[in-house]
């Protein structure tokens, strides 16, 4: 027994599970994988995932936090604010202050809370420009966790995430293997034993990108990912517009189909 009979995940695309695809086109992600670990062999365990891609912190607080409080789970994981701090001119201190309101509300309701620091972007071409803002935000998150007795998964300190194979081509979301390792690390922070180790070294590779290959990759990334993001931001649009959460209710981890849509436990990928 791990002490958690119910778990709700709130946040943005990271928690929704991009880019950890399932055969049906939906996403699995670290939160689904964590739920599978927490609920293994336990019919009474229930899980909800309210996270949605593109959501800003204010939207998460307005749309997801009240639902999480109403559901009254044993555990809530929160990762939010990442979409806010990448906006040019964003006030990281202000974002952190609003994030703390979310954690205070959940802890005030007697719910166990786990949060995530941002990963270190030092080795990521172009995205490394955000490293300072991420570092400042992380310092706030650690202080918030200390004040409210929340648990922390320190993505910044996970050296295995420094490998490019942990990251999707968009340089914002993790691959399936990245999600798997994050789920294992999260279980460890919660004190839940696992059969696998997130620290396992990546397989050796002979691939070494040269300067020209890297610059071509930067140009392709700008065309395919950065420019569309800028256009959406200028229009006030979001990747999550028109979408709904994949698991809006606390439900057992069993497989069932409704109108052809997957609502419950994902298959192994």
pLDDT per residue as tens digits for the range 21-34: 999 989 999 999 99
Q: 205 in a domain, yes or no?
A: no
The answer to the question of residue 259 being in a domain is: no
Q: Which domain holds residue 113?
A: 6-200+211-252
Is 269 part of any domain? no
Residue 175 has a pLDDT of 95
**Residue 216: per-residue pLDDT:** 59
Across the range 104-112, mean pLDDT stands at 98
Largest CA distance in the chain: 54
Q: What is the mean pLDDT of residues 182-205?
A: 95
pLDDT of the residue at 25: 87
Distance CA 222, CA 125 (A): 11
pLDDT at 262 over 70: no
104 within a domain of the structure (yes/no)? yes
Is there a domain that residue 113 lies in?
yes
Please report the pLDDT score of residue 104 as a whole number: 98
Please say if the pLDDT value at position 263 is more than 50: no
Report pLDDT for 169.
Answer: 81
Candidate from 73-77, 144-148, 253-257 with smallest mean pLDDT: 253-257
CB 140 within 8 A of CB 82: no
Q: Is the pLDDT of residue 269 over 60?
A: no
Which of 8-12, 163-167, 258-262 is predicted with the least confidence, judged by mean pLDDT?
Answer: 258-262
Assign residue 54 the CATH number of its domain.
3.40.50.1110
* pLDDT tens per residue across span 205-238: 766 656 555 555 555 545 555 556 556 666 676 6
Phi, psi (rounded to 5 degrees) for 223: -70, -45
Q: What is the mean pLDDT of the chain?
A: 86
When divided into structural domains, the chain yields a total of 1
3-state SS assignment for residue 7: strand
Q: Is residue 265 part of a domain?
A: no
Tokens of 113: 């809370």
pLDDT for 78 equals 98
Q: Is residue 144 part of a domain?
A: yes
What order of strands is seen across the sheet that includes strand 112-116? 151-153, 112-116, 75-79, 6-11, 46-49, 247-252
Please report, for residues 37, 205, 244, 253, the alpha-carbon distance to residue 264 in angstroms, rounded to integers and kept in the order given: 14, 36, 15, 6
Average pLDDT over residues 83-110: 95
Query: Within a domain: residue 261?
Result: no
pLDDT-above-90 percentage for the chain: 67
């Amino acid at each position: 027994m791990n002490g958690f009979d119910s778990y709700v995940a709130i946040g943005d695309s990271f928690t929704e599970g991009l880019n950890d695809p399932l055969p049906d086109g939906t996403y699995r992600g670290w939160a689904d994988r964590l739920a599978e670990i927490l609920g293994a062999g336990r019919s009474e365990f229930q899980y909800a995932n309210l996270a949605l891609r593109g959501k800003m912190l204010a939207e998460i607080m307005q749309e997801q936090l009240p639902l999480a409080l109403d559901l009254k789970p044993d555990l809530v994981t929160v990762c939010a604010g990442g979409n806010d701090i990448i906006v040019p001119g964003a006030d990281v201190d202000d974002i952190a202050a609003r994030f703390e309101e979310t954690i205070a509300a959940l802890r005030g309701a007697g719910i166990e809370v786990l949060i995530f620091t941002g990963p270190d972007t030092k080795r990521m071409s172009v995205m490394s420009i955000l490293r300072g803002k991420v570092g400042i935000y992380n310092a706030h998150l650690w202080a918030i966790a200390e004040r409210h007795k929340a648990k922390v998964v320190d993505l910044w300190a996970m050296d295995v995430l420094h490998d490019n194979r942990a990251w999707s081509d968009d340089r914002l979301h993790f691959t399936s293997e990245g999600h798997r390792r994050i789920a294992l690390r999260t279980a460890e922070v919660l004190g839940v034993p696992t059969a696998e180790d997130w620290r396992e070294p990546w397989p050796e590779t002979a691939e070494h990108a040269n300067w020209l290959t890297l610059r071509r990759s930067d140009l392709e990334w700008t065309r395919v990912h950065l420019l569309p993001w800028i256009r959406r931001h200028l229009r006030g649009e979001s990747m999550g517009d028109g979408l709904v959460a994949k698991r809006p209710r606390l439900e057992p981890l069993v497989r069932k189909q409704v109108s052809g849509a997957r609502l419950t436990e994902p298959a192994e990928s």
